[in-house]
C-alpha cells in the first residue's frame, strides 16, 4: 500500500476519523530531508500496511492543518490514534530508526 496524500479538506476523514492509526508526514517539495525519507516511508507503508496508514501532507499546498498543529520544521512526523496525536518525530532518520520508532508507538 503506497502512502496516502492528505489535504486540509480530507484531514478529518483520512486521519482523525480513520479506523486505524495514521502516521502523517508533513513535508514540502523544496525540503531535502523530506525527499530523503520519502522512499523509506513508501517501504514502511507496504511493510506495516495492516497496522498503520502512512499519509503525506504538503504544507505549502495545505497550510491550515500544519498551522493549527504548530508545524515549524519539516519533515515532521505525527502519529494519530483514535483521532488524537500520540507521538511525533522531527527531522530525517534512516528507515530502520523510523520503523523502530513507529513500531514502538503502535
**Which CATH number goes with the domain that contains 25?**
3.40.30.10
Q: Is 79 a catalytic residue?
A: no
Active-site residue among 18, 22, 23, 31?
31
For residue 34, indicate whether it is catalytic: yes
According to DSSP, the residues that pair with 25 across neighbouring strands are: 56, 77
What band does 11 get if pLDDT is binned at 50, 70 and 90? very high
Helix (H/G/I), strand (E/B), else coil: 97: helix
Q: Which one of 6, 18, 23, 34 is the catalytic residue?
A: 34
What pLDDT sits at residue 5?
97
Report helix, strand or coil for 54: strand
C-alpha cell at 46: 507496504
- 106 domain-assigned: no
The answer to whether position 73 is within a domain reads yes
- Alpha carbon distance 85, 16 (integer Å): 9
Which residue is associated with the grid cell 502523517? 24
- Assigned domain for 69 exists: yes
Query: How confident is the model over 13-30, as pLDDT tens digits?
Result: 999 999 999 999 999 999
pTM over 0.75: yes
Domain that holds residue 64: 4-101
Question: Number of structural domains, the chain?
Answer: 1
Amino acid at each position: 500500500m503506497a502512502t496516502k496524500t492528505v489535504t486540509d479538506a480530507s484531514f478529518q476523514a483520512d486521519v482523525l476519523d480513520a479506523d486505524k492509526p495514521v502516521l502523517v508526514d508533513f513535508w514540502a517539495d523544496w525540503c531535502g530531508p523530506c525527499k530523503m525519507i520519502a522512499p523509506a516511508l513508501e517501504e514502511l507503508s507496504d511493510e506495516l500496511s495492516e497496522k498503520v496508514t502512512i499519509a503525506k501532507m504538503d504544507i505549502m499546498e495545505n497550510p491550515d492543518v500544519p498551522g493549527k498543529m504548530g508545524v515549524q520544521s519539516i519533515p515532521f512526523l505525527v502519529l494519530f490514534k483514535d483521532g488524537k496525536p500520540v507521538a511525533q518525530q522531527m527531522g530525517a532518520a534512516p528507515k530502520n530508526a523510523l520503523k523502530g520508532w513507529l513500531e514502538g508507538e503502535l
